[in-house]
Chains A and B, each alone.
Chain A
Amino acid sequence: MAIRIEEAFNDCFERLSFGESLDSCLHSYPEYAADLNMMLRTVYDVKRRAYPIQPRPEFKYWSRVKLQGVQDYMSRHAVPQRSGSFNFRRNLAISMAGLLVLIIASSGTAAASNDALPDQPLYGVKMAVEQAQVSLATSDIDRAEIYAKLAEKRAREIEAMARQGKAEYLVGTSAKMDYQLEQAETYINRFQVANAMPTETTSEAGAAATTDENASGQPTQAAPQPPMQSKPYTETDTDQPSWVKPIPSNMPVKPTDDRMGDGKTGDVRTAVKQPAPAARAIANMSKAKTALNSSTAKSLATLQDALDKAPESARPAIIQAIERMKKANEWSQKNYDQSPGNQPQMIQPRPKYEPPTTNKPANSGDNTDKNNGAGNPFYKYPDPNTSVNPFINKDPNTNINPYINKDPNTNINPTIKRDAGTTSNTGINTGTSTDTIKPTTILTDTQKLIPSTQVAPISTDIDPAQRTTK
């Protein structure tokens, strides 16, 4: 293909700039020689005319002096960089989200969407408003409470959908509910870890042990004091929630530093009052846990009620949702038990819910895989009636997944065009294919290494060792 005149012109211009002669350039493009000659002479004239345009030397000098003056001034009056530029953006984003929520919430659309069900057009608006509410939350505790309330809403939706006999929406709503409960638990857990909730209290034995140790002349290490541990726990302390139980008196207490400088060490928690923020944090967490417990209990009751009223077709999905909720409730009760006898502890993640696998065909590739999207609201659980996920499972009649499985008779994936004689994908032609694409044009390096008669589908059957061999 002939080179375009623009390209030839640019090439000649570059070559002339590097000192090549005009004739030499024109000789390279005889078909454009006449035109290029005129154009290049015009360029020469333009450059000749522009050559005298130079800054005056005195201007250049004084301009540089002025720049140095600006540099000096700026270094003397350096404005500290805003370390919070990210925070500023984040705050701006939050403000904008808040504004958006206000606008939406003030409109009738948002109000109407509040009662929307998954099969209604306004449900999307409802989801957006909920997401904005979560984004607007300023703390983990607030987020946990919001998620708990949202899970409760999902339970009510399940109940409403079941009553109307719309079983097809129950699975997705149930998955969303589970996701929102998990989020609530996660945020509570995060808050607890971040604030280092109290796990031990002072005892006389502990204090005595500390004193003895120091008396023996052993060096005392300064134990870092978590912010929440600066206040001594007493059973009568009104700041402590009722569910915090004192640690038994025989529990050892870490030695503490000599803060008074008198050579005596002791547990500073006995001497320093717990600051108000710590108490507030405990109260906040207690509130969030209460909200979550209440939400799971209410949701469970709602789902039980739904089960009683639901038509037969909707019952399996509701049973599954109830199972899920029961597990969440049990876990929540275990970890967030606020009874006086229960010591607060590090919360362990709730085991992922796994739907029943009784009807699951072997090697079906369904989404009950532990790594497969649990906690994702868009995660599609198998249809409880058929155990088949229409997106990734096999067709129960033919046992063929039209997207990823081969036809068991021909060993061919019907969605990928293959040469049945070699069971090879014609998209990666092996040379025996009847496909019209020429082998040499698309044969990959990996394919070239394998004899054509042995080539298997590239995604599964190629020896990894061969992949790395060149």
Chain B
Amino acid sequence: MLVEEQLVQRAVNGDREAFTQIYDLHFDKIYRYIYVKVRSQAEAEDLTQDVFIKAYESIKNYKWRDLPITAWLFRIAHNRVIDHVRKTSKEKKASLDEAGAISSGDPVHMTELNFEIYQLKDALLHLPDAQREVATMRFISELSISEVALSLGKSEGTVKALQFNAIASLRKLLYGKINGY
């Protein structure tokens, strides 16, 4: 049995420390995934917290054989984001000011970073849903091909094709059409 699987089994059996370790392992990935899908940092923080509380409430019913823990957490995050987007879809769009990154202390540098993040989020928003999901999980949350495939319920071959098309689309959106891609 893998170390992570043992850890998850302990958490399923009610070991709080084990769940905290799972939280530490996946918190950043989940936050990054949610961040590029919502309008503001505050929303991303609230939703990330909700995902882990929901996961803690449901961990007793979790079975590794059905889905690895990473895929399970991303499914919760995906559902939580969809619920949130449905509720807030009629509200105003995010502004550049709300695209926050780690504060570096330098206002110019911060503005540049925020602008680049804003561009990326905007480009991702223009991708088809499947490509956006794969690109977010693969290049922003840094999941493996198999984890993405399990999270989305798709084959690895499909995920590879989607990630390739997503990068080709992002290239066009970020830099304009170059050499056919």
Contact = CB atoms under 8 A, between A and B. Distances in A.
Contacts of A53: 31-32, 35-36, 101, 117, 140
A59 B45 contact: yes
Contacts of B27: 55, 60, 63
B181 A54 contact: no
B168 interface: yes
B94 interface: no
Contact of B167 (A46, A50, A63, A81): A46
B145 A50 contact: no
Interface string A40-78: 001101110110111110011001101110110011000
B102 A52 contact: yes
A68 B20 CA distance: 8
Interface residues of B, number: 43
Nearest to B32: A53
Given A38-B171, A55-B28, A67 B53 contact: yes
- The secondary-structure label for the interface of chain A is helix
A249 to B, nearest CB: 60
B98 interface: no
B49 A66 contact: yes
A70 B32 contact: no
Contact of B174 (A39, A42, A52, A55): A42
Interface in B60-119: 60, 101-102, 113, 116-117, 119
B92 to A, nearest CB: 22
Interface string A1-13: 0000111011000
Nearest to B57: A74
Size band of the interface chain A makes with B: 20 to 34
Interface in B13-61: 16, 19-20, 23, 27-28, 31-32, 35-36, 41, 45, 48-49, 52-53, 56-57, 60
A39 B181 contact: yes
Nearest to A40: B167
A49 B45 CA distance: 20
Contacts of A59: 45
A35 interface: yes
A26 B28 CA distance: 31
B148 to A, nearest CB: 11
A430 B31 CA distance: 62
Contacts of B161: 6
B40 to A, nearest CB: 13
A5 B161 CA distance: 9
B124 to A, nearest CB: 9
A10 B171 contact: no
B181 A49 contact: no
Contacts of A42: 167, 170-171, 174-175
A71 to B, nearest CB: 5
Contacts of B179: 34-35, 38
Contact of A54 (B102, B139, B163, B164): B102
Contact of A39 (B101, B116, B167): B167
Contacts of B36: 50, 53
A10 B179 CA distance: 20
Contacts of B181: 35, 38-39
A67 B53 CA distance: 6
Contacts of A49: 116-117, 119-120
Contacts of A75: 16
B22 to A, nearest CB: 11
Nearest to A48: B116
B56 A46 contact: no
A60 B20 CA distance: 12
Nearest to A17: B142
* Those 10 A-B pairs whose CB atoms lie nearest each other, nearest first: A52-B101, A6-B164, A42-B171, A55-B31, A49-B120, A50-B140, A49-B116, A6-B160, A10-B160, A6-B161
28 contacts: A6-B161, A6-B164, A38-B178, A39-B164, A39-B167, A46-B120, A46-B135, A46-B174, A47-B139, A49-B116, A50-B36, A50-B120, A50-B140, A52-B101, A53-B101, A54-B31, A54-B101, A55-B28, A55-B45, A56-B41, A63-B52, A64-B20, A66-B49, A67-B52, A71-B19, A71-B56, A74-B56, A74-B57
Interface of A: 5-7, 9-10, 34-35, 38-39, 42-43, 45-47, 49-50, 52-56, 59-60, 63-64, 66-68, 70-71, 74-75, 81
Given A5-B164, A39-B168, A52-B102, 5 more contacts: A35-B181, A63-B52, A66-B49, A74-B56, A81-B60
